[in-house]
Structure 1
Amino acid sequence: MKKTVVITGATSGIGRATALDLAAHGFHVIATARTTEKAGKLTAEAAERGHTLRTVLLDVTDPRSCQDAVAEIDEQTDGGPWALVNNAGIVNPGAFEDVSETDARAVLEVNLLGVARMTRLVLPGMRQRGEGRIIQMSSAGGLIAVPFNGWYSAGKFALEALTDTLRRELAGSGVRVSLIEPGTVDTPLVSGALARLAPPDSRYEAAYDRARRIVTARKPPGPETVARAVRRALTARVPRRRYGVGYEAVMARAARLIPPAAVDFAMCTALRLNGRRR
């Protein structure tokens, strides 16, 4: 019997790659989308590849939308999915002084509270069956914070903490919880964030340009690398607590072992933030 996996934010980037990968490897995939148009495109792409997946409309920032989506999923799966991949996410980049409270709130609403909503809704069914998997899409940015990505890192740091707590609370329930921690990945999320990293009249304008050059200096891997990590977490008899993906994930873990002063110096030097600015 196929195991059902729900993937949020499944119509582009990592979510799309994961949905297509899991469908190709025998999972019953339910992919969430914010519009019927996006849902139709994903279904058609899967069909072109000879795979089948279902879609459900979902806005993770809307509690009623989450409730309705999970109710529909419960009906399709006779009691809820075997696994949930919390992938939906957004980035509002910029220096602390350049990101508005509205934009900061939007990041936390999607990347943290949306994850919590969906997880809370699927857990009762998993507990009742005595098994299940929760996969949280974190980031290397959830391990170390870099300039101009503070609110994204804030949400991912919080997600790491919340997931550690959840994993420990679910010990003995049969529900396994894992974090995926990708570095920079070639997705519309990343390219869009880089394009928006240019607020007008910002004191950080020159540093923003340097940050873009640093990020684009090396070709990042595609989202398929992250999709494979998700599949490993779902197919492992005993999944790991964390799956790092890519160069930045390795460097982020290493940086946590280095004195903070040295990390500050390296980052500020690379972006030329050490000079005094008004």
Structure 2
Amino acid sequence: MKTVVVTGATSGIGKATALDLAACRFHVIGTARTPDKAEKLTAAAAELGLTVHTVLLDVTDPRSCQDAVVEIDALTDGGPWALVNNAGIAPVGAFEDVAEADARAALEVNLLGVARMTGLVLPGMRRRREGRIVQLSSLGGLVSVPFNGWYCASKHALEALTDSLRMEIAGSGVHACLIEPGFTDTPMLSKGLADFPADSRYAHGYMAARRLIASWSPPGPETVARTVRRALLAPKPRRRYRCGPGAVPAPLLRLAPAPVADLICRSALRLNKR
């Protein structure tokens, strides 16, 4: 039975992925930041007749990452077959509305935390000459949109880092790929929409963003979980897997002339007049 570690597995996409993979007979180890969250994940799996093991992990803490991987190695007799780097945060708001501390946190979790965990499990995968690194990116890693700049910046960086990694480990038996979901109905999305500052000069744009996302009726995280499963089951995984709303138009927007792409985004969010 192949072991898959899923970071940030206690809610949203991470939880859906952990449960989906457990149902498909993977040995799943989900990471959680607190014992309480770990217990809830274990209980949720048990209610479905599934088993998900848990390990405590804070991806922003190098010592926590090292301790978690030591524990994972002990549970797996030398390390996991696959790592799904799902843990992430999304500070929302216009550039002028996001505090530097929140911007740093996004880069720490979404980029450096991913790098830490990848670097710690990669040597074992190399020794076994097989393994998968699956990075949860976003369509925001391809196209930047207003009010989500720091999240997009972190995902753009993750895309670049993963592209380099994929070429560097080619021929080692280890594969790295990116999952690029569109808007997905998760606690992170709900929290983000609720966290827009009320006393901002961009208040009208924030209201437009809420209405726009609500009109799309984003799918639940199970759509993304199934895509992660596809990447793990593929004999030779693709470089990128896109899913959910925007999976087709976002790359096209990237190819459009910059003035056209800017006008589309500004019009959708009522940013044409100030």
> Taking structure 1 as the reference length, what is the TM-score of the superposition?
0.97
Cα displacement (A) at 1:272: 1.9
The structure 1 segments of at least 4 consecutive aligned residues displaced by more than 2 Å after TM superposition are none
**Which residue number corresponds to residue 254 of structure 2?**
256
Residue type matched to 1:107 in 2? Answer: A
Does structure 1 residue 227 correspond to structure 2 residue 225? yes
Cα displacement (A) at 1:200: 4.0
**C-alpha distance in 1, partners of 2:157/2:173?**
24
Q: Residue 239 of structure 1 aligns to a residue in which SS?
A: coil
**Which residue number corresponds to residue 37 of structure 1?**
36
**Which residue number corresponds to residue 20 of structure 2?**
21
Conserved? CA contact 1:135–1:178, under 8 Å: yes
**Which residue number corresponds to residue 115 of structure 2?**
116
**Which residue number corresponds to residue 204 of structure 2?**
206
**Which residue number corresponds to residue 240 of structure 1?**
238
**C-alpha distance in 2, partners of 1:139/1:50?**
31
**C-alpha distance in 2, partners of 1:131/1:38?**
31
Conserved? CA contact 2:89–2:106, under 8 Å: yes
**Which residue number corresponds to residue 156 of structure 2?**
157
Cα displacement (A) at 1:201: 2.5
Matches within 5 A, 1:1-278: 2-197=1-196, 199-276=197-274
Cα displacement (A) at 1:163: 0.2
**How many corresponding residue pairs?**
274
Provide, for residues 225-256 of structure 1, a one-character-per-residue CA deviation record: whole Å limited to 9, x for no partner: 10000000000001111000012122111111
Cα displacement (A) at 1:49: 0.8
CA RMSD of aligned residues (A): 0.7
Conserved? CA contact 1:135–1:177, under 8 Å: yes
Provide, for residues 141-181 of structure 1, a one-character-per-residue CA deviation record: whole Å limited to 9, x for no partner: 00100000000000000000000000000011000011000
Q: Residue 234 of structure 1 aligns to a residue in which SS?
A: helix
Residue type matched to 1:236 in 2? Answer: A
Conserved? CA contact 1:130–1:175, under 8 Å: yes
Q: Residue 31 of structure 1 aligns to a residue in which SS?
A: strand
**C-alpha distance in 1, partners of 2:31/2:147?**
29
**C-alpha distance in 2, partners of 1:227/1:62?**
26
1:219–1:200 Cα change, 3 Å: closer
**C-alpha distance in 2, partners of 1:271/1:52?**
44
Conserved? CA contact 1:139–1:249, under 8 Å: no
Q: Residue 92 of structure 1 aligns to a residue in which SS?
A: coil
Sequence identity (%) = 70
Q: Residue 132 of structure 2 aligns to a residue in which SS?
A: strand
Conserved? CA contact 2:216–2:245, under 8 Å: no
Cα displacement (A) at 1:257: 1.5
Q: Residue 41 of structure 2 aligns to a residue in which SS?
A: helix
Cα displacement (A) at 1:216: 1.0
